[in-house]
Amino acid sequence: MIDQTVLEAFNSRVQVNPNNIKEMKASQLDQIKGNGSEAESLLQNKQLALFIHITKFDLTDQLTNIVGHSQDDNNRRIAISNQLAGLTSFIDTLKRAVYYKNRVVTMQTNPAAPTHNIKEVL
């Protein structure tokens, strides 16, 4: 069972998008900056990067070892592809948190700074 504190942390997270940053309270902006700093630290962690790449290589090796074309083989391919997509999604989530942190910091230090579309930056 999931720990209650984990559920509370998940339920109290700040829902952020490029359009609602300007209307947020100071405490929410601080939480965005804190999350972004943690995400940035994870992205710069060489050991985490090493383990993620090792996992990707292992999954890719598993994928290339599937030589058949039966329904089970195809299901294994799909499952491995989903695992690879999950790793990529995790990294994208970290990058998005860093982007939002940088956007908040820029907005607070220079309120007249132009805004950019998230797709342009990432």
**DSSP-based helix, strand, coil % in the chain, nearest 5:** 75, 0, 25
Give the C-alpha separation, 45 to 58, whole Å: 20
Q: What percentage of the chain has pLDDT greater than the value 70? A: 89
Q: What is the dihedral of CA 71, 76, 80, 86, to 10 degrees?
A: 70
Per-residue confidence in pLDDT tens, the chain, 122 aa: 678 888 887 788 788 887 888 888 999 999 999 999 999 999 999 999 999 999 999 999 999 999 999 999 999 999 999 999 999 999 999 999 999 999 999 998 887 655 555 555 55
pLDDT reported for residue 21:
87
Domain coordinates of the chain in residue numbers? Answer: 25-121
